[in-house]
Amino acid sequence: MEYIILSAGIVILLGVLCIKGLDKLKVPSFLGFLLIGIILGPYVTNILNLEFMGLTREIATFAMVVLLIRAGLGLSRDALRKVGRVAVEMSSIPSICEGIIVMVAGHFLLGIPLIESGMLGFILAAVSPAILVPRMLNLIDRKLGTEKGIPAILLTGSSADDVVAITIFSVFLGMYTGGNINIAWSIVSIPISLLLGIFIGFLTGLILIYAFRKWDFSNTEKLFVTLATGILLNSLGEALQGKIPIAGLVGVMVIGFLLLDRIPKTAIELSNKYSHIWIAAEILIFVLLGSQINLQMLVQTPVGLFAPVAVVAIIIICIGLVGRFIGVFISLAGSGLNKKEKIFCMTAYIPKANVQATIGAVPLAAGVASGELILVISAISIIFTAPLGAILMDSLNEKLLTKEKIDYESSEDIEVSG
């Protein structure tokens, strides 16, 4: 245990120093976190404790809970009302388009069976909340794209996008391992899990609001209560997997949304506190991602491939992103967004990290023949798309999105009447 704590201390210290250094250079800090992970990991210096590295999935889940509560705390009722249909389509169509195209490309370029390639396709077919959510919250704060609800579209769409990708991945895995998989039920369970997640999140949020109004909780206590509730809700979804489909993480975001809608002052204070927790969570998750990257494997050319793994992987990832862009374009048809805004939505759906880190190693652990290859390509997708998506969102948001116009006359009337 002491070595796990020591590793965590080293990682957080180096991560904070990295933030300070890279902020001055205006470089995304998570790139530094990935580099720290690579250097400290078993493939370079082997400083990180293996038990600490084994906590990657748990830390990733914790980070997702923090992110999605923050996302909910940034979503207003008006914003969601504007984007209902579009957000639903953005939660499924881009993911399915990318997954199918990667499945076909992987089959021909990697020479692996379609079922194994399908696993790869739907591991890659999930956008990263760790990259997208903080940037969407920043856009909301700056009122960029909010007039047309663009941050709300991307926040709500990306939260359910992962549910769709993981569900379809589990279908392919079950087909490979010979599990008793009902494909029709698996497909039907996707919207059911989302609806149940929304319902349970709404019910849980109402209970929390009642408790906060009835008893005198401090803001710090409210932080711990909401965080613990989010973790329990996600755990409930995982425990009932295969029995009752519940998208726990979607419910987590609904809790944040309900708090903002019913007790906005508390929600704003909680959002500020969650932004501080996210600093530590972001450092840990990206360092752990970096620690699992085997640099030597990237330059190897396995039998049957026409180029090193890294080259073939990037080709497949790019082909998949084309499919995702097509899916985004289809989803945004009739949304009222102009060409520039649609391009921004496409760039926002580029980055991958959380899901790929969490389930990228599952095929290997399950004995899938191409499991190691799938794991390596999952890691490459993080290295390639996470920086690319983050840099594009940061550099293009002001060029592609318009700032929401403030009705100064109305605000003056409010001040006068007050």
Q: What is the pLDDT of residue 180?
A: 57
Given a cut of 60, whether residue 416 has pLDDT beyond it is no
Look at 272 and 361; give whichever has higher pLDDT: 272
**Secondary structure class of 410 (helix, strand, coil):** helix
> Which residue, among 356, 348, 343, has the nearest Cα to 393 in the 3D structure?
348
**Secondary structure class of 169 (helix, strand, coil):** helix
Given a cut of 70, whether residue 137 has pLDDT beyond it is yes
Q: For residue range 96-125, what is the model confidence (pLDDT) as tens digits?
A: 999 999 999 999 998 899 989 999 999 999
8 Å CB contact between 163 and 355? no
Least confident stretch, 13-22, 61-70, 176-185, 193-202: 176-185
Maximum mean pLDDT: which of 68-82, 227-241, 312-326, 399-413: 312-326
Q: What is the mean pLDDT of residues 86-95?
A: 88
- Number of Cβ within a 10 Å radius of residue 195: 14
Q: What is the pLDDT of residue 242?
A: 65
Q: For residue range 351-410, what is the model confidence (pLDDT) as tens digits?
A: 987 778 767 777 887 788 888 888 889 888 988 998 899 889 999 999 999 887 765 444
What is the band of 126 on the pLDDT scale with cuts at 50, 70, 90?
confident
CA distance 103 to 96: 10
Q: Helices 264-291 and 129-142 meet at what angle, rounded to 10?
A: 140
Give 144's DSSP letter. B
Q: For residue range 149-166, what is the model confidence (pLDDT) as tens digits?
A: 899 889 888 877 877 888
> pLDDT averaged over the chain?
84
Given a cut of 70, whether residue 71 has pLDDT beyond it is yes
8 Å CB contact between 101 and 362? no
Q: What is the pLDDT of residue 411?
A: 44
> Which residue, among 268, 252, 207, has the nearest Cα to 62 in the 3D structure?
252
Residue ranges of domains in the chain, CATH in brackets:
2-403 (1.20.1530.20)
Q: How many residues does the chain have?
A: 418
**What are the strands, taking DSSP E only, across 2-69?**
none
Q: What is the mean pLDDT of residues 265-277?
A: 89
8 Å CB contact between 349 and 324? yes
Q: What is the mean pLDDT of residues 281-305?
A: 77
CA distance 4 to 49: 6
CA distance 69 to 93: 24
